[in-house]
Protein backbone atom coordinates (compact mmCIF):
# COMPACT_ATOMS: atom_id res chain seq x y z
CA UNK A 1 0.00 0.00 0.00
CA UNK A 2 1.12 3.58 -0.73
CA UNK A 3 1.35 4.88 2.84
CA UNK A 4 1.65 8.53 1.78
CA UNK A 5 -1.56 8.43 -0.24
CA UNK A 6 -3.36 6.87 2.74
CA UNK A 7 -2.67 9.82 5.09
CA UNK A 8 -5.79 11.29 6.67
CA UNK A 9 -6.64 13.94 9.24
CA UNK A 10 -9.95 13.45 11.05
CA UNK A 11 -11.55 16.02 13.33
CA UNK A 12 -13.51 14.75 16.32
CA UNK A 13 -14.84 17.70 18.30
CA UNK A 14 -11.81 19.12 20.09
CA UNK A 15 -9.81 15.99 19.19
CA UNK A 16 -7.72 15.37 16.06
CA UNK A 17 -6.85 11.93 14.65
CA UNK A 18 -3.96 11.58 12.20
CA UNK A 19 -3.52 8.36 10.20
CA UNK A 20 -0.53 7.90 7.92
CA UNK A 21 3.29 7.76 7.76
CA UNK A 22 5.25 8.52 10.92
CA UNK A 23 7.93 10.71 9.29
CA UNK A 24 11.30 11.20 11.03
CA UNK A 25 10.10 12.70 14.29
CA UNK A 26 12.40 14.71 16.55
CA UNK A 27 11.95 15.10 20.35
CA UNK A 28 9.03 17.46 21.05
CA UNK A 29 6.21 18.40 23.43
CA UNK A 30 2.48 18.37 22.63
CA UNK A 31 0.01 20.76 24.19
CA UNK A 32 -2.46 17.90 24.76
CA UNK A 33 -2.10 14.21 25.52
CA UNK A 34 -1.61 12.03 22.44
CA UNK A 35 -2.32 8.34 21.98
CA UNK A 36 0.19 6.92 19.47
CA UNK A 37 -0.51 3.53 17.88
CA UNK A 38 1.62 1.62 15.38
CA UNK A 39 -0.81 0.28 12.78
CA UNK A 40 1.63 -2.05 11.01
CA UNK A 41 4.14 -2.82 13.76
CA UNK A 42 5.67 -1.56 17.01
CA UNK A 43 6.96 1.94 17.66
CA UNK A 44 9.80 2.85 20.02
CA UNK A 45 9.67 5.40 22.84
CA UNK A 46 12.73 7.02 24.44
CA UNK A 47 13.10 6.61 28.19
CA UNK A 48 14.84 10.01 28.36
CA UNK A 49 14.52 12.09 25.17
CA UNK A 50 17.18 14.54 26.42
CA UNK A 51 19.81 11.74 26.61
CA UNK A 52 21.31 10.84 23.23
CA UNK A 53 22.30 7.42 24.63
CA UNK A 54 18.85 6.66 26.04
CA UNK A 55 17.16 3.27 25.83
CA UNK A 56 14.06 2.93 23.63
CA UNK A 57 11.08 0.87 24.69
CA UNK A 58 9.08 -1.01 22.02
CA UNK A 59 5.27 -0.94 22.11
CA UNK A 60 2.30 -0.92 19.75
CA UNK A 61 0.49 1.79 21.75
CA UNK A 62 1.62 4.59 24.05
CA UNK A 63 -0.20 7.47 25.71
CA UNK A 64 2.05 10.55 25.95
CA UNK A 65 1.12 12.95 28.73
CA UNK A 66 0.54 16.64 27.90
CA UNK A 67 3.52 19.00 27.78
CA UNK A 68 5.89 16.03 28.20
CA UNK A 69 9.11 15.93 26.16
CA UNK A 70 9.12 12.68 24.20
CA UNK A 71 10.66 10.99 21.19
CA UNK A 72 8.96 8.33 19.11
CA UNK A 73 10.53 6.42 16.27
CA UNK A 74 9.26 3.75 13.92
CA UNK A 75 11.16 1.93 11.20
CA UNK A 76 8.27 1.24 8.86
CA UNK A 77 4.53 1.37 8.46
CA UNK A 78 1.72 3.72 9.36
CA UNK A 79 0.92 5.49 12.61
CA UNK A 80 -2.21 6.74 14.33
CA UNK A 81 -1.87 9.85 16.49
CA UNK A 82 -4.99 10.76 18.48
CA UNK A 83 -4.59 14.22 20.02
CA UNK A 84 -7.20 14.13 22.74
CA UNK A 85 -9.65 16.74 24.02
CA UNK A 86 -7.66 19.48 25.82
CA UNK A 87 -9.95 19.10 28.83
CA UNK A 88 -8.77 16.37 31.18
CA UNK A 89 -11.70 14.00 30.81
CA UNK A 90 -10.23 12.01 27.90
CA UNK A 91 -6.93 11.59 29.69
CA UNK A 92 -8.64 10.39 32.88
CA UNK A 93 -10.51 7.78 30.84
CA UNK A 94 -7.48 6.62 28.87
CA UNK A 95 -4.91 6.17 31.65
CA UNK A 96 -6.77 3.25 33.34
CA UNK A 97 -7.04 1.58 29.93
CA UNK A 98 -3.24 1.39 29.62
CA UNK A 99 -1.33 -1.54 31.13
CA UNK A 100 1.77 0.26 32.45
CA UNK A 101 2.27 3.89 33.52
CA UNK A 102 5.45 5.97 33.88
CA UNK A 103 5.91 9.69 34.70
CA UNK A 104 6.06 10.60 30.98
CA UNK A 105 3.77 8.06 29.35
CA UNK A 106 1.55 5.00 29.70
CA UNK A 107 1.99 1.88 27.57
CA UNK A 108 -0.03 -0.93 25.99
CA UNK A 109 -3.76 -0.39 25.59
CA UNK A 110 -5.72 -3.22 27.18
CA UNK A 111 -7.96 -3.28 24.08
CA UNK A 112 -5.04 -2.73 21.75
CA UNK A 113 -5.99 -5.27 19.07
CA UNK A 114 -9.52 -3.90 18.74
CA UNK A 115 -8.23 -0.30 18.60
CA UNK A 116 -5.74 -1.20 15.85
CA UNK A 117 -8.51 -2.88 13.85
CA UNK A 118 -10.69 0.25 14.01
CA UNK A 119 -7.84 2.66 13.25
CA UNK A 120 -6.63 0.54 10.32
CA UNK A 121 -10.17 0.38 8.96
CA UNK A 122 -10.38 4.18 9.11
CA UNK A 123 -6.96 4.56 7.48
CA UNK A 124 -7.97 2.28 4.61
CA UNK A 125 -11.51 3.75 4.27
CA UNK A 126 -13.09 0.38 5.10
CA UNK A 127 -14.81 2.04 8.05
CA UNK A 128 -16.70 5.31 7.59
CA UNK A 129 -15.56 8.21 9.77
CA UNK A 130 -18.78 8.52 11.88
CA UNK A 131 -18.85 4.79 12.60
CA UNK A 132 -15.12 4.73 13.33
CA UNK A 133 -15.34 7.62 15.77
CA UNK A 134 -18.28 5.99 17.54
CA UNK A 135 -16.56 2.59 17.79
CA UNK A 136 -13.27 4.07 18.96
CA UNK A 137 -15.03 6.35 21.43
CA UNK A 138 -16.90 3.43 22.96
CA UNK A 139 -13.74 1.34 23.17
CA UNK A 140 -11.63 4.08 24.75
CA UNK A 141 -14.34 5.70 26.86
CA UNK A 142 -14.00 9.07 25.10
CA UNK A 143 -16.19 11.20 22.89
CA UNK A 144 -19.00 11.74 25.37
CA UNK A 145 -20.08 15.08 26.74
CA UNK A 146 -17.62 16.51 29.25
CA UNK A 147 -18.61 19.01 31.94
CA UNK A 148 -15.73 21.49 32.02
CA UNK A 149 -15.77 24.91 33.63
CA UNK A 150 -18.27 26.81 31.47
CA UNK A 151 -16.23 30.01 31.31
CA UNK A 152 -13.04 28.22 30.26
CA UNK A 153 -14.99 26.16 27.72
CA UNK A 154 -16.41 29.38 26.25
CA UNK A 155 -12.90 30.83 26.00
CA UNK A 156 -11.64 27.74 24.14
CA UNK A 157 -14.57 27.93 21.71
CA UNK A 158 -13.79 31.60 21.08
CA UNK A 159 -10.14 30.80 20.43
CA UNK A 160 -11.04 27.94 18.08
CA UNK A 161 -13.53 30.09 16.15
CA UNK A 162 -11.03 32.93 15.64
CA UNK A 163 -7.52 31.38 15.76
CA UNK A 164 -5.95 34.32 13.92
CA UNK A 165 -6.64 36.77 16.76
CA UNK A 166 -4.14 37.52 19.54
CA UNK A 167 -6.34 36.18 22.37
CA UNK A 168 -4.43 38.06 25.05
CA UNK A 169 -4.86 37.02 28.64
CA UNK A 170 -6.50 40.29 29.68
CA UNK A 171 -9.18 40.10 26.99
CA UNK A 172 -9.91 36.41 27.56
CA UNK A 173 -10.18 36.95 31.30
CA UNK A 174 -12.49 39.96 30.80
CA UNK A 175 -14.79 37.94 28.50
CA UNK A 176 -14.93 35.23 31.16
CA UNK A 177 -15.60 37.73 33.96
CA UNK A 178 -12.47 36.64 35.84
CA UNK A 179 -9.26 38.26 36.96
CA UNK A 180 -6.25 37.35 34.80
CA UNK A 181 -4.66 35.36 37.62
CA UNK A 182 -7.88 33.41 38.30
CA UNK A 183 -8.38 32.75 34.59
CA UNK A 184 -4.83 31.38 34.24
CA UNK A 185 -5.32 29.16 37.28
CA UNK A 186 -8.59 27.69 36.02
CA UNK A 187 -7.25 27.36 32.48
CA UNK A 188 -4.30 25.26 33.64
CA UNK A 189 -6.54 23.10 35.85
CA UNK A 190 -9.01 22.45 33.01
CA UNK A 191 -6.58 21.90 30.13
CA UNK A 192 -3.36 20.81 31.83
CA UNK A 193 -1.24 23.26 29.82
CA UNK A 194 -0.40 26.98 30.07
CA UNK A 195 -2.45 29.45 28.02
CA UNK A 196 0.48 30.39 25.77
CA UNK A 197 1.12 26.79 24.78
CA UNK A 198 -2.56 26.12 24.12
CA UNK A 199 -2.80 29.30 22.03
CA UNK A 200 -0.05 27.98 19.74
CA UNK A 201 -1.69 24.54 19.64
CA UNK A 202 -5.00 26.11 18.65
CA UNK A 203 -3.42 28.07 15.81
CA UNK A 204 -1.54 24.98 14.72
CA UNK A 205 -4.76 23.01 14.46
CA UNK A 206 -6.38 25.72 12.35
CA UNK A 207 -3.38 25.82 9.99
CA UNK A 208 -3.29 22.03 9.65
CA UNK A 209 -7.02 21.90 8.86
CA UNK A 210 -6.60 24.61 6.22
CA UNK A 211 -3.65 22.76 4.69
CA UNK A 212 -5.63 19.52 4.60
CA UNK A 213 -8.39 21.38 2.75
CA UNK A 214 -5.99 22.50 0.03
CA UNK A 215 -4.49 25.79 1.24
CA UNK A 216 -0.78 26.40 0.71
CA UNK A 217 1.41 26.45 3.82
CA UNK A 218 1.73 30.24 3.56
CA UNK A 219 -2.04 30.69 3.22
CA UNK A 220 -2.70 28.29 6.09
CA UNK A 221 -0.14 30.01 8.33
CA UNK A 222 -1.56 33.48 7.74
CA UNK A 223 -5.17 32.31 8.18
CA UNK A 224 -4.25 30.86 11.57
CA UNK A 225 -2.50 34.02 12.78
CA UNK A 226 1.17 33.14 12.27
CA UNK A 227 3.38 36.03 11.17
CA UNK A 228 4.95 33.97 8.37
CA UNK A 229 5.25 30.45 7.04
CA UNK A 230 8.74 30.30 8.61
CA UNK A 231 7.28 31.10 12.05
CA UNK A 232 4.61 28.46 11.50
CA UNK A 233 7.18 25.85 10.41
CA UNK A 234 9.40 26.49 13.43
CA UNK A 235 6.51 26.28 15.90
CA UNK A 236 5.12 23.19 14.16
CA UNK A 237 8.43 21.33 14.44
CA UNK A 238 8.73 22.25 18.13
CA UNK A 239 5.27 20.85 18.84
CA UNK A 240 5.01 17.88 16.46
CA UNK A 241 8.61 16.90 15.79
CA UNK A 242 8.27 17.24 12.00
CA UNK A 243 8.02 19.93 9.35
CA UNK A 244 4.56 20.97 8.15
CA UNK A 245 5.69 20.46 4.55
CA UNK A 246 6.00 16.73 5.33
CA UNK A 247 2.41 16.64 6.54
CA UNK A 248 1.19 18.71 3.59
CA UNK A 249 2.77 16.23 1.15
CA UNK A 250 1.15 13.30 2.94
CA UNK A 251 -2.31 14.89 3.03
CA UNK A 252 -4.10 15.21 -0.28
CA UNK A 253 -6.60 18.10 -0.59
CA UNK A 254 -9.81 17.02 1.09
CA UNK A 255 -8.05 14.51 3.35
CA UNK A 256 -8.92 16.59 6.42
CA UNK A 257 -12.36 15.63 7.72
CA UNK A 258 -13.73 17.73 10.56
**Which of 30-44, 194-208, 243-257 is predicted most confidently?**
30-44
Residues 6+ apart with CB under 8 A from 248: 211, 217
Is residue 245 pLDDT above 90, yes or no? no
Indicate the burial class of 238 (C-beta count within 10 angstroms; 0-12, 13-18, 19 or more): middle
- Give dist(CA 14, CA 24) in Å, integer: 26
**Which of 44-53, 164-173, 186-195, 218-227 is predicted most confidently?**
164-173
**Which of 61-75, 96-110, 222-236, 237-251 is predicted most confidently?**
96-110
- Give dist(CA 102, CA 109) in Å, integer: 14
3 state DSSP class of 22: coil
Cα angle value 223/229/232 (rounded, 5°)? 80
Q: Which domains does the chain have, with CATH numbers?
A: 8-140 (2.60.120.10), 150-243 (1.10.10.60)
The percent of residues above 90 in pLDDT, for the chain, comes to 38
Is residue 258 pLDDT above 80, yes or no? no
* pTM of the predicted model as reported, rounded to 2 decimal places: 0.75
- Give dist(CA 176, CA 164) in Å, integer: 19
Closest CA to 158 of 183, 179, 185, 181: 183
Residues 6+ apart with CB under 8 A from 13: 85, 143
Amino acid sequence: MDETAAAKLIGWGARVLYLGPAFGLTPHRNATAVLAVGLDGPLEVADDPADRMTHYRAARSVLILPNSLHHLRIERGRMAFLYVDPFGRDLRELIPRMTTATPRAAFDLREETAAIDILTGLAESRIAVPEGRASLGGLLGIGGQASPNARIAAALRHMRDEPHRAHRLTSLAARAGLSPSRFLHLFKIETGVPLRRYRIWNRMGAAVRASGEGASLTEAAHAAGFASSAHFSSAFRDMFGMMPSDLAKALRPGAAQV
